[in-house]
A and B are shown apart, each in its own frame.
Chain A
Amino acid sequence: MNNQSIWKWLGRRRGIVQIISALTLNSYFTQHVTKGIPCPALNCYACPAAAFACPIGTIQHFVGRKKFPLYALGVVGLVGALIGRASCGWFCPFGWLQELVYRLPVPKLRLPNRFNWTRYVVLAVLVVAVPYVTREPWFCKLCPAGTLEAGIPLALLSADIRAMVGAMYWIKIGIMGALLAWMSVTKRPFCRWICPLGALWSPLNPISSFRLQVDQDSCIQCDRCQQVCPTDIRVYENPASAACIRCLECMRVCPTDCISVVSPGP
């Protein structure tokens, strides 16, 4: 079994990895120790079962206290340097949810990736600038992953929290509902246009240890890669694209086997 066959074999089992990851990140029992570690995914740490800290929530916490988030940025940077945005494709429960919702048999809406710089705006404004000024984690207040994993379960579990439900709660529910509807018609809209964690990892994609390479001589540009790509990119145009989440779906369907996984070597 050569290297490419191993990656293709693993790519076919990505769903299993996503299930294991979602269960591990929300495994509850270890949370009194492991919640001090930012996880490599957008997983709300206010979720009653969350076992790790959300890196974006942690960064906002430090920014709001005018402290540099050395530790959280170090963890995010290390993950990005090693695997780029592969965490989005393999470990993020919210990314997985988007793929599941997109399978619903409803009419689909393809949108170009032209405006996907908006996730950098979300990062700069809602994760850095506004929390720095207001001392409040504003991305967390609006985060649909937080609403789904923490806002709704906590309100269901606790009468005290239900009593606190106000306009902000219903705004969060509205955002989440709109996003769920968007997920059903467009591939991974949160990852492509909104996710600030993806924005932190995107620039590291071209320099990460885990990268894709396309043999341009073998590629017949059939666009099967784009059809299955969760972020709707043509991998042969730029294998190191900032939008690529390294899910290896393209590698799985490529009829000429021209896509391979590479690591930078001296």
Chain B
Amino acid sequence: MNEKKLLFLVNRALIVLAVALILAGLFFDQWRTVLRNAILL
């Protein structure tokens, strides 16, 4: 596998991982925690 293709795959894997983290955070209601913490400051 050449370096260009490897970079592409790592980039896409990272995007998928980041989206999965965001969805998991939303599932655990972290959005509300972030909002409450920010509003209370």
* In the complex, chain A residues whose CB is within 8 Å of the CB of B24: 70-71, 74
Task: Describe A's contact surface by its main secondary structure.
Answer: helix
- Whether the Cβ atoms of B34 and A58 lie closer than 8 Å is yes
Contact of A35 among B17, B22, B39 (CB under 8 A): B39
Q: How far is the CB of B15 from chain A (nearest CB, A)?
A: 5
Whether A70 contacts B5 in the complex (CB less than 8 A), given A46-B41, A78-B22, comes out as: no
Chain A: number of interface residues, binned into ranges: 35 or more
- Whether the Cβ atoms of A71 and B30 lie closer than 8 Å is yes
* In the complex, chain B residues whose CB is within 8 Å of the CB of A102: none
The segment from A14-22, A204-212, A224-232 found at the interface with B is: A204-212
The tally of residues in B whose CB lies under 8 Å from a CB in A reads 29
Name B residues whose Cβ lies closer than 8 Å to a Cβ of A.
Answer: 4-5, 7-8, 10-11, 14-15, 17-26, 28, 30-35, 37-39, 41
* With A72-B25, A73-B21, A78-B19 already in contact, 17 other A-B pairs whose C-beta atoms are closer than 8 Å: A35-B34, A36-B38, A54-B38, A57-B41, A58-B37, A70-B22, A70-B28, A71-B21, A77-B14, A77-B21, A204-B14, A207-B10, A207-B14, A209-B11, A264-B8, A264-B11, A266-B8
Bits for A50-77, please: 1 = Cβ < 8 Å to B, else 0.
1001100110011000000111111101
* In the complex, chain B residues whose CB is within 8 Å of the CB of A82: 15
A38 within 8 A of B: yes
- Whether the Cβ atoms of A81 and B15 lie closer than 8 Å is yes
- Whether the Cβ atoms of A61 and B37 lie closer than 8 Å is yes
- Whether the Cβ atoms of A81 and B18 lie closer than 8 Å is yes
- Whether the Cβ atoms of B4 and A71 lie closer than 8 Å is no
Best-buried of A73, A77, A80 by chain B (most CB within 10 Å): A77
